[in-house]
Amino acid sequence: MFKIKLLQKGTNLSSDEIMQRIYIYLKEIELEQLRERVSFLKSDLPRLEASYKRLTQLIREAEEDYEWMAKRIVELEENNKRLREALMQRGKQ
């Protein structure tokens, strides 16, 4: 019923007027899409900023751990080498 009323309304309009209404409808769609995009970006920015801060902190910690472990591996390798040599010396004796 509603559709028929609309079409009746449409038959009272000229084709240019209907085309104009279609173009307005398209502009409204464009406007709605813009609103959605802007709203998404606004709401997503705090999440991204928090991720950026968290990742920067995690990387800083991981880099410190990496450096500490790299040094520790060298220390342990050297220590084990000394112990192995001592053990071999003891075996010879």
Partner 1 sequence: MMFDSLLSKFSEEQREKIQNIATRFNMKPSELIKRALEKPVKNTKEIDLEIEKLSKELSELTSIHAPLSSKVASLTFKYHELYQVCGSYSIAIMGLEAENQTLSNSLHVKYDNTLRKKEEELFDKYHKQR
Positions touching partner 1 (CB under 8 A) are 2-4, 6-11, 13-15, 18-19, 21-22, 24-31, 34-35, 37-38, 41-42, 44-45, 48-49, 51-52, 55-56, 58-59, 62-63, 65-66, 68-70, 72-73, 76-77, 79-80, 83-84, 86-87, 90
Which long-range contacts does 29-36 make (Cβ < 8 Å, 24+ apart)?
A: none
Q: How far is the CB of 86 from partner 1 (least distance, A)?
A: 6
Q: How far is the CB of 77 from partner 1 (least distance, A)?
A: 6
10 with 18: CB under 8 angstroms? yes
- Give the DSSP H/E element, type plus range, for residue 27: helix 15-92
